[in-house]
Amino acid sequence: MKLQWNFGDRVLNLPAAALSAGADAAQLHILLLCAAGEDAEAVYPTVAVKDALSFWRRAGVLAGEEEPEAKAAMAHPAAIPAAEPEPKPAGKLARADEIPTYSAAELNGMMDRRRSLRVMVDEAQRICGKMFNVYEVNILIGLTDYLGLDEDYILLLLAHCMHIGKTGMRVIERYAISLVDGGVTTVPALEEHIRVREERHTLEGKVRAMFGMKSRSLTDSERKKIAAWMEYGYGEDVIRRAYEITVDTIHEPSMKYVHAILDRWHAEGLTDLGQIDRKLAEEREAKTAATGGNGSFNTDAFFEKALRRSFRKPEETNGGQA
């Protein structure tokens, strides 16, 4: 295929040896930046640029001697003092920035020894829709080399992060560390975490609409209540029934009252709307028999019972959203 080049006002000339040097994407990009007279260190960490330039010198693409400290490090790698690792509590990561920094040569070495890592990096770039720099590859490799996560886990995590808007690799690193810290270390555990998170997000949206919250953020207390409702196994239909009872009684929405009702139903072993409606009907019939035919539902008595364990009586509360 014949190509027509548009050189514009600048042209890059590179030795043909660069084609067969076996460079990775970052090393090639650094070479192009340097050939164009650009500052590669504005794009990549200094150590990555130095490693790349050392690679190109060894490949015969660049002339001249390596910097003295680079030659000494290659000849006597043990001479580089290793930082004393900080003690970590069992089962927990000590800090949010635990993943170590690898040189470009180390990253290449790991990917050469374990070809699946290179495949993972290529697929990760496709998922994220961009070419990674050395810093981003460092984090990606660190997730498996240091945290012990397998490639399928990392790719699933990346796809999930792209879906929820966590696109920065540093943000993804912290998210991954928090998952590991919480015991989510296998693909099935991550799949379950994602499922629960998405269900909670969906339910939160429905609750927000139900309570007329519009665009305001949920408070921590409200999120905890919704999470508890999910643990109870209650969906939108059950929550709406508790919401209707609340509004019929105090004439305004209140997550505190709704939570008290749902907490009571859960304590009584009621698991779905059918059971709940039958229970309400039984209470209404019992009330009818006790009042000699007055079958109206005594909501004051209902709330007295519902709120007894955790809250003050309805007349002593302000009926707020919290």
Q: Do the Cβ atoms of 235 and 200 come closer than 8 Å?
A: no
Q: Are 307 and 314 in contact (CB under 8 A)?
A: yes
Q: Is the predicted pLDDT of residue 270 greater than 80, yes or no?
A: yes
Number of residues that make up the chain? 322
**Highest averaged pLDDT of the listed ranges 90-94, 148-152, 206-210:** 148-152
Cβ atoms of 229 and 274 within 8 Å: the answer is no
Provide mean pLDDT across the span 12-34.
82
Average pLDDT, the chain: 79
How much is the pLDDT for 44? 76
Buried (b) or exposed (e) across 118-144, using 16+ Cβ within 10 A?
bebbeebbebbeeebbbbbbbbbbbbb
What contacts 54, CB < 8 A, 6 or more positions away?
66, 70, 74, 105
In this predicted structure, the answer to whether residue 153 has a pLDDT above a threshold of 90 is yes
Q: 71: pLDDT confidence band, cut at 50, 70 and 90?
A: very low
Rounded distance between C-alpha atoms, residue 249 and residue 258, angstroms = 11
Ranges 63-67, 140-144, 235-239, 264-268: which has the least confidence: 63-67
Distances (CA, A) of 217 to 231, 241, 242, 258: 22, 24, 22, 19
Residue 204 has pLDDT above 90, yes or no: no
DSSP string, 14-30: --GGGGGS---HHHHHH
Contact 132, 167 (CB under 8 A): no
Question: For a pLDDT cut of 90, what percent of the chain falls above it?
Answer: 31
Q: How far apart are CA 168 and CA 124, in angstroms?
A: 13
pLDDT attached to residue 87 = 38
- What's the CA gap between 98 and 142, in Å, rounded? 9
| Range of 19-23, 39-43, 224-228 with top mean pLDDT | 224-228
For residue range 211-230, list pLDDT tens digits in order. Answer: 888 777 788 899 899 989 98
Q: What average pLDDT does this structure show over 165-192?
A: 92
Task: Please report the DSSP string for 228-271 in residue order.
Answer: HHHHHT--HHHHHHHHHHHHHHHSS--HHHHHHHHHHHHHTT--
Residue 85, both tokens = 């690792």
- Cα 46 from Cα 164, distance rounded (Å): 32
Amino acid at 165: G
pLDDT of 198: 83
Mean pLDDT value across residues 295-311: 53
> What pLDDT does residue 15 have?
84
Q: How many Å apart are CA 278 and CA 199, to the nearest integer?
A: 27
* Those residues with Cβ within 8 angstroms of residue 87's Cβ, 6 or more apart along the chain or in another chain: 94
Strands (E), 137-235: none
CA neighbours closer than 13 Å in the CB half-sphere of residue 1: 3
pLDDT at position 277: 92
Axis crossing angle, helix 46-58 with helix 104-113, rounded to the nearest 10: 70
- Higher pLDDT, residue 71 or 225: 225
